[in-house]
Structure 1
């Protein structure tokens, strides 16, 4: 069973509210309908109400069980304006300036998330990544003990030998171009934490490089991965997280036990990795898109990691299926792991 189907079954017992800032987009409407029909919670479509209804009618999609909010006419506008002006980044704005921000559906949705008026956000269907991410990074704080917000893409293939029953958790594929060793360590820890939350399996984290640790190299990028690996291990111990971290590893040695054996690389991660941490955005973005286009992997995300609230920034090329799967993931992220995986089940 796919990760999305597993999480959907669990979400039916813990339904959540997911806000979509680009609510009039046909793919969003289709994904929202599926989310509501499967009893996973309440999708919230933000945007022009009449346009949303017209597009839904064209698709012959019912809107029952789906909430529609037009920010400019929302009863929550006044309350959000007061809270928005109280944020450190927006102090000094007058009422008109504040309203201009909040009439932008991405900012309005982020304020919904910040004030618990929704449980998660899926944005980016029709806007650039920077436009979708900016409100989140300006309003939602990072997790305690974490300095870096980044992104995770879940790649899934019908091969139970790969990752966790075919699911691989890959970071960072969308936010930080050239992470420092400290940022890489944060990326590794937050991705491992989310992988554990969603699967209840021990994350086996491979810090990727073009060279495996048995190879001798003084390259600066490899030195950075080595330092990040050491820092991530320290943080895992500090946070008392269940995870195994190893690096630096080539991706074939991380995923294929035969290759790892041939290269003389042992340990609990080599050949068994389910979390892949890329050394930079170039490698992460290129590898993930190759996996989708050449290998036919399904993809969900980008899921924003390191923030204190669940959010995702999807590609403008995402399908309705991709969007639905991403909504399921951030909704499940909003459920306490002890409810997703009760103690008796875990034993």
Structure 2
């Protein structure tokens, strides 16, 4: 896959420090071993060093000694991180005793390592639920400036080369927010455009999708998308965003010019924002199964530093790819 190879090459060219809190999980360790062998990222594993090295030997992994291994129970910055967490959460009533307990949790510890400037991104979820992965990230790393919601973007690599960037589309939200408000949808649009820049290396042309094009239908759901379009343009005036557009008007030049004459996005969109999670999730799965498209992600977007969530059914290859994607997000975050 050309795009995935590009993402890996960009990660190799500017190596980032990626935390893997599930440091004793088999697929995670095997992916980390390959990442270290290929020089895709610098890896920080959280777990007991003896256990991690024992498992590496058991599974014949040759590169784990290149990783930094942090033992939650005994590392040198344990108290420093506890004090940082206590300071971050003091308005919520956090005590230093509670903070000292939480820094033993690898998911909290990983986020604190990033917040303290000792790492650039985190990837977890092979063993943990999405809620467990996101909770410490939202409490510690928090969202990017101007963004208050986290959403799930996806790279959709289709066989229809005439659409998007040679068949590549960036889409959202497919994973997180069931029914966003107009304000939240605007933020999702801007965050997805940024994902398109960072991961797909394209200048985003963002279409706000609906069942209406430029007022062809009247409904409160259409009004929400139209308002979200206005707010998204205010949030990032330099990003190309238009709506509301039907999917064919967004993608097909002849339909776009007919239904939305004068629009710079209609018929040219490479980034699609769905009006709700329901629509986005159904749409990508249909395109994936019926159209033979490859769906890469979801990628969590909107965080101040990247924290990504894996499916618990993920493969070693999935984790390898997501480490490279997380590294690209970290590179992009530093350029803002």
User: Structure 1 length as normaliser, TM-score?
Assistant: 0.86
**How far is 1:284 from its partner?**
1.9
- Residues 48 and 90 (structure 1), Cα distance of their counterparts in 2 relative to 1, 3 Å cut: farther
- What's the offset of the Cα at 1:315? 1.9
1:179-226 alpha-carbon deviations (Å, 9 max, x no partner) = 110111111112212322334422011111233335222x21111001
Residue of structure 1 in register with 2:235 after alignment: 235
Q: Of the candidates 249, 253, 258, which is equivalent to residue 257 of structure 1?
A: 253
> 2:182: which partner in 1?
181
Which of 247, 264, 268 is matched with 2:264 structurally? 268
C-alpha displacement of 1:51: 4.2
Counterpart in the other structure of 1:153: 154
Distance 2:247 2:59 in 1: 43
**Aligned counterparts of 2:274 and 2:2: Cα–Cα separation in 1:** 24
User: Residue 34 of structure 1 aligns with which residue?
Assistant: 34
1:277 aligns to what? 273
Question: 1:43-62 residue pairs with structure 2 within 5 A?
Answer: 43-62=43-62
Q: Is the 8 A contact 2:305 2:333 kept in 1?
A: no
Distance in 2 between the 1:23 and 1:299 partners?
Answer: 26
Which ranges in structure 1 are unaligned for 5 or more consecutive residues? 340-347
Q: CA deviation at 1:54?
A: 4.4
Question: Pairwise CA RMSD of aligned residues?
Answer: 2.6
Residue aligning to 1:126: 127
Q: Secondary structure at the match of 1:5?
A: helix
1:58-69 equivalence runs, <5 A: 58-62=58-62, 63-69=64-70
Is the CA contact 2:210–2:247 (under 8 Å) kept in the aligned structure 1?
yes
Distance in 2 separating the partners of 1:120 and 1:160: 32
CA distance in 1, matches of 2:334, 2:67: 28
| 1:321 equivalent in alignment to 2:322 | no
Aligned-partner SS, 2:156: strand
Structure 2 counterpart of 1:83: 84
Deviation at 1:125, TM superposition (A): 1.8
Gap runs ≥5 in structure 2: none
In 1, the alpha carbon distance for the partners of 2:249 and 2:191 equals 23
| Alignment CA distance shift 1:85-1:11 (3 Å) | same
- SS of match in other structure, 2:152: strand
Residues 161-310 of structure 1 aligned to structure 2 (within 5 Å): 161-213=162-214, 215-217=216-218, 219-237=219-237, 241=238, 243-260=239-256, 263=259, 267-310=263-306
* Aligned length, in residue pairs: 335
